[in-house]
């Protein structure tokens, strides 16, 4: 069983109206789609989600967009037009969840804010994703991943010691927020099963990034300490760090005095464990530069495989530092089925990476798909909104869809 065959129908029968775009919202709804929800992705006619213009491209198709919008139905609707607004209002009563990630105030201008939508469908779960939340004094600020990383404190903790603030090498603020949004949406959906009431789920990118920084928060909130970049080392425990070998870098996690004693034995310097400069974690932190040089001299004379085997055999957690090619090509990814073969109507077979949680007792599912712009417009308007040929033709003729 792999991740995609394990998604099955946990959310079968749940319909999501996805008004989000770019990354945080689409990441949230992709997780719901992986679990069997029917996700109707609304895009602007002609241009679609802005994510369709983000590279890299395969035969003109955005691979970024394909990874983020698997198993969704693409419907093109101009929500700013009167007819487009009517189409969305016709879909709302047929949906369990609405997800949007516009800047606060935009949905109200479109006549689709939470109070208005709730009048149409009292039980709907209305999930709003934004940079700073619906009531923040910063709510009008434009929010992109780099903006949130900068303001969250994460950049101030990332990078080499003494170096400039550095962004994490992935859109972690968008992804983290999307996961929190999916979590909140499903919690509200579960509550509706008991109470019969819908909820407004308000998820902010800055809030999400703050909540995940437990080590930094522990130091700031309890010790009144402002953490600084520490490179690859753990900010509190040493040696928890990366080191070079003759064939690549390794990380090791000497999380206790016992583990350090085992490392000293491996290095051929057992006396280090009793040296007052290194005998406790506090002392090792105080004399980090000296200890780092001693460890680096040992790892620098061995291969990556030799260092990792020695550490693991001694009970010290260790791992190679992989690049993306090594990760994707690993036996782990193959065994766990983390890259699934999906289908695109134009490109044919495409690689997709679904949500990774596996569930027992599920039957294999059809291969995931990724939609072309507007691929499902007519089908959704007929089957969900109840439109007939006359209406669909009129909407096409006036550019609404």
Q: Strand pairing of 249-253 and 240-244?
A: antiparallel
Q: Which two tokens stand for residue 122?
A: 């009292």
Residues 6+ apart with CB under 8 A from 100: 19, 20, 25, 107, 112, 126, 127, 128, 129
> Is 234 a catalytic site residue?
yes
Q: Using CB atoms within 10 A of its CB, is residue 65 exposed (0-12), middle (13-18) or buried (19+)?
A: buried
Q: How far apart are CA 340 and CA 2, in angstroms?
A: 8
- DSSP H or E segment with residue 350: strand 348-352
User: What sign results for the dihedral spanned by CA atoms 333, 335, 338, 342?
Assistant: positive
SS3 217: helix
CB atoms within 10 A of CB 372: 15
Category of 277 on φ-ψ map: left (φ > 0), alpha (ψ -120 to 50) or beta: alpha
Element (H, E) at 333: helix 331-336
The C-alpha atoms of residue 188 and residue 198 are separated, in whole angstroms, by 7
Strand partners, 251: 242, 319
Cis preceding-peptide flag for 239 (omega within 30 of 0): yes
Annotated active-site residue in 85, 200, 234, 343: 234
In whole angstroms, what separates CA 358 from the centre of its chain?
Answer: 17
List C-alpha distances in Å: 10 to 25, 31, 304: 20, 12, 43
Tokens of 214: 């437990």
Q: Which residues are catalytic?
A: 234
């Amino acid at each position: 069983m792999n991740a995609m065959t394990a998604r099955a129908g946990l959310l079968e029968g749940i319909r999501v109206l996805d008004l989000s775009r770019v990354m945080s919202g689409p990441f949230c709804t992709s997780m719901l789609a992986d679990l069997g929800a029917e996700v109707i992705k609304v895009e602007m006619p002609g241009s679609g989600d802005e994510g369709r213009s983000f590279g890299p491209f395969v035969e003109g198709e955005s691979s970024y967009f394909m990874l983020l919008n698997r198993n969704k139905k693409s419907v093109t609707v101009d929500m700013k037009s009167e007819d487009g607004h009517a189409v969305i209002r016709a879909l709302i009563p047929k949906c369990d969840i609405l997800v949007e990630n516009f800047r606060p105030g935009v949905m109200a201008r479109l006549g689709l804010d939470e109070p208005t939508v709730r009048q149409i469908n009292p039980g709907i779960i209305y999930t709003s994703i934004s940079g700073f939340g619906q009531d923040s004094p910063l709510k009008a600020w434009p929010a992109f991943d780099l903006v949130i990383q900068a303001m969250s404190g994460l950049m101030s903790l990332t990078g080499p010691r003494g170096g400039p603030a550095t962004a994490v090498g992935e859109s972690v603020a968008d992804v983290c927020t999307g996961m929190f949004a999916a979590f909140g949406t499903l919690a509200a959906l579960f509550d509706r099963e008991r109470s019969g009431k819908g909820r407004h789920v308000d998820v902010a990118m800055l809030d999400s990034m703050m909540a995940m920084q437990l080590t930094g928060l522990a130091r700031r909130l309890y010790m009144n300490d402002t953490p600084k970049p520490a490179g690859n080392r753990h900010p509190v425990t040493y040696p928890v760090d990366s080191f070079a070998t003759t064939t690549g870098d390794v990380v090791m996690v000497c999380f206790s005095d016992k583990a350090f004693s085992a490392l000293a034995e491996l290095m051929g310097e057992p006396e280090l464990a009793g040296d007052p400069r290194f005998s406790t974690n506090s002392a090792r932190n105080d004399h980090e530069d000296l200890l780092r040089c001693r460890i680096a001299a040992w790892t620098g004379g061995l291969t990556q495989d030799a260092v990792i085997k020695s550490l693991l055999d001694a009970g010290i957690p260790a791992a190679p530092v992989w690049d993306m090619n090594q990760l994707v090509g690993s036996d782990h990814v193959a065994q766990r089925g983390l890259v699934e073969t999906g289908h695109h109507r134009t490109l044919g077979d495409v690689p997709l990476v679904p949500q990774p949680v596996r569930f027992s007792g599920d039957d294999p599912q059809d291969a995931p798909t990724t939609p072309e712009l507007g691929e499902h417009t007519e089908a959704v308007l007929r089957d969900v909104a109840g439109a007939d040929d006359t209406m669909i033709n009129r909407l096409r003729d006036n550019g609404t869809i």
